[in-house]
Structure 1
């Protein structure tokens, strides 16, 4: 199909999947349980961190994380004592375990106490109309406390070749317009035009079938290629096409 036809096709799929029905089976339902900015962004960040594998398992384990944080994630992050972290023992989602969760809680407290919170940190290093440098700088700050090396694998660095799917998804949740009831539109210091598509197996395979992506690996170079293609279709909100690519892959087996 022509580029115009492809844009029209994808716009139809965006309208179909950028809908509250999407929440019924998606991990984004977890932060939708909260109403305050900090509770939403912390629950979203932690949920996105474990968002790989079976989606039912992701939702179940993200809900368990919120339970461990007394369903008040911001209050727990700021005011927990060392003894409060003992109840994390036994928590696991695939390779993310209680040791990682303990560190994440400590790192998040450091970010809110010393680095103006998640929005302030992620919005500090935007370059070339892209959040990828910001993600890399975020990782440096996130691991400035003493930590086990094993935990570093749970925060990606696009400047070291990663597509950083989960962090790009988290940023989509926080930044994109909330008018459809899916994303939150909470963060105003980052523009939707600066976001990158959460590139994973599903969106990558569909993008290749549609001719939007040639590179075979789902890495930072592929992400840049896909971003360039999607920004032609909508330079102001290119990441809306994540709904189309993901929906076509997961729900329509395109």
Structure 2
């Protein structure tokens, strides 16, 4: 289980009923098209899904329509085959990436991401290994995995310091919203088909709820969060409350909180 944080009171029956209803409403295939998760859903090969999903999560900053368009642009720059591009690109292929920019994510960041992924896939079949620190079976926490991933990602003589801001870590008290969303996509699996469930060495029970502005706003309105600041401890607090509703799959309620935040002014 993730490290503990002070927990708000268990949700009232009315809040439980609302969250369950909204989870059922939003966790369905029609959620995919207007969401960044639609980017990895364009692929069938495991590694393509991982890479497309990783970029879609990292670039998930701003309006969803803009995020999707920028991700589609990036996939096109990678010839529509991200895994093949990562593994087999030439120096001339990289020149096409020099035009890419999304908010503060620029070509310097992108080139390092490509370098990191190429190095990783030369040694591993899956990106899941990047989130599994040594001895993870004895200490199976997402917190440890995210800290390990940050350190692993940055551990290169070619790492540009400016790129550090794009890979959050609990060690700096970040909520790690985008990486937690990526983990949800890769680890959760149910009959609804939104999340992929490709990774099996982490379990849905271990996941931490992605806390974007929509989720946080609704969670506070419903009394699920008491911590006044938005940080890693807040993400743990919310997840612990959601775990009282479903210990095996607490982050399924991300659908409910996010969906309510997008569709309602609360």
TM-score calculated relative to the size of structure 1: 0.96
- Match of residue 20 from structure 1: 29
Quick one: distance in 2 between partners of 1:245 and 1:150? 32
Residue 204 of structure 2 corresponds to 192
- Which residue, 65, 80, 90 being the options, matches 2:74? 65
**Aligned pair in 2 of structure 1 residues 233, 90: CA closer, same or farther (>3 Å)?**
same
Which residue in 1 is equivalent to 2:145?
Answer: 134
Q: 1:107 aligns with which of 110, 113, 116?
A: 116
Q: Which residue of 1 aligns with 2:52?
A: 43
**Aligned residues, how many?**
254
CA contact (8 A) 1:66 1:72 kept: yes
- CA-based RMSD: 1.5
The alpha-carbon distance between structure 1 residues 160 and 116, as it changes in their structure 2 partners (threshold 3 A), is farther
Partner Cα separation in structure 1 for residue 11 and residue 146 of structure 2: 34
Query: What does the per-residue CA deviation read over 1:30-68, in whole Å, with 9 as the maximum and x for residues that have no partner?
Result: 100000110001100011001011111100000111111
Match of 1:208 in 2: 220
Quick one: distance in 2 between partners of 1:245 and 1:143?
Answer: 32
In structure 1, the partner of 2:4 is none
Following TM superposition, where does structure 1 have runs of at least 4 consecutive aligned residues deviating by more than 6 angstroms? Answer: none
Question: 1:178–1:77: structure 2 CA closer, same or farther, 3 Å change rule?
Answer: farther
* TM-score (ref. length: structure 2): 0.91
What's the CA shift string for 1:162-183, capped at 9, x where partnerless? 0000000000000101420111
The correspondence of residues 160-175 of structure 1 with structure 2, limited to 5 A, is 160-175=172-187
The residue that corresponds to 2:259 in the other structure is: 247
Contiguous gaps of at least 5 residues in structure 2: 1-9
User: SS in structure 2 opposite 1:25?
Assistant: coil
Q: Which runs of 5+ in 1 are unaligned?
A: none
Change (3 A) 1:2 1:213: closer
Equivalent residue number for residue 30 of structure 1: 39
